[in-house]
Amino acid sequence: MKNPVARLLEVAAQQHGLFTVVQAAGVDVADDQVRRMAATGVLERRAQGVYRISTVPFDEQTELMEAVLWAKGRGLIAGESGLVLWDLADVNPRKIHMAVPPGYRPRRAGGELYEIHHISVDAADRDEVHGVPVVSPALAIRQAIDWGVAGDMIEQAVRRAQAREHIGMQTAARLLVRLYDRALPEKHHGGGDGR
């Protein structure tokens, strides 16, 4: 049987060097073994229940995968962070935006790094980029519009998504209409003194 680090590496290799204690148990590595390896520097504790194999280099998706694992695999990278993962816009979100199912309340240390959105995401709008679960490009753009991302970044995202054939012309048009509707002042109907 392979040594514990080799077994963990098989899991972590698919997740940018990261794994959870639940996944470790799934390959017969006990919690106390994980803690000992962390104490000796073989592993690095990244969040409650989430570890990284120290020799695996960080990449652009490591923090995004860490966010998904922090939410016990129930989260999807969403909105502005989804635009980053899909490489659709030159945005730099302050926090990692993540969609989690309604009613799911992750209450774990590290949550201050994430902007949690409680929404249902249809199966058709779930995808992966470099192994990281993420909402579809169209949904990421729609969320970014609704969550207030700058209009020029939305336009860039729509252009790139269409050029890469992630979205068609009709979807692009609907997203741009949604963006431009956001910019219009609220219309007041009826009531008051008629002005």
Residue 9 forms part of a structural domain: yes
Does residue 34 sit in the same domain as residue 71?
Answer: no
Q: What is the DSSP string of the chain?
A: ---HHHHHHHHHTTTTTEEEHHHHHHTT--HHHHHHHHHTTSEEEEETTEEEETTSPP-TTHHHHHHHHHTTT--EE-HHHHHHHTT-S----SSEEEEE-TT-----TTGGGEEEEE----GGGEEEETTEEEE-HHHHHHHHHHTT--HHHHHHHHHHHHHTTSS-HHHHHHHHHHHHHHHSPPPP-S-TT--
Does residue 65 sit in the same domain as residue 159?
Answer: yes
Residue 108's pLDDT is 67
Q: What is the pTM of this model?
A: 0.88
Does residue 74 sit in the same domain as residue 121?
Answer: yes
Q: What's the farthest any 2 CA atoms get from each other in the chain?
A: 81
Does residue 162 sit in the same domain as residue 87?
Answer: yes
Does residue 76 sit in the same domain as residue 151?
Answer: yes
Residue 73 forms part of a structural domain: yes
**Radius of gyration (C-alpha) of the chain in whole angstroms:** 20
Does residue 46 sit in the same domain as residue 67?
Answer: no
Q: Which of 3, 6, 16 is nearest to 133 (CA)?
A: 16
Residue 192's pLDDT is 45
Residue 185's pLDDT is 67
Does residue 95 sit in the same domain as residue 132?
Answer: yes
Residue 77's pLDDT is 99
Does residue 92 sit in the same domain as residue 117?
Answer: yes
At 31, list the tokens.
Answer: 């919690």
Per residue of the chain (195 residues), what is the pLDDT tens digit? 689 999 999 999 999 999 999 999 999 999 999 999 999 999 999 988 999 999 999 999 999 999 999 999 899 999 999 999 999 999 999 999 999 999 998 876 667 889 999 999 999 999 999 999 999 999 999 999 999 999 999 999 999 999 999 999 999 999 999 999 998 765 544 444 444
Residue 72 forms part of a structural domain: yes
Alpha-carbon separation of residue 26 from 8, 12, 127, 139 (angstroms): 10, 12, 24, 33
Residue 195's pLDDT is 40
Does residue 137 sit in the same domain as residue 48?
Answer: no
Please report, for the domain that includes residue 31, its CATH number.
1.10.10
Strand 96-100, strand 76-77: pairing: antiparallel
Q: For residue 18, what are the contacts with CB-CB under 8 A and spacing of at least 6?
A: 12, 46, 50, 51, 52, 62, 65, 66, 69
The range of the structural domain enclosing residue 12 comes to 4-53
Residue 188's pLDDT is 42
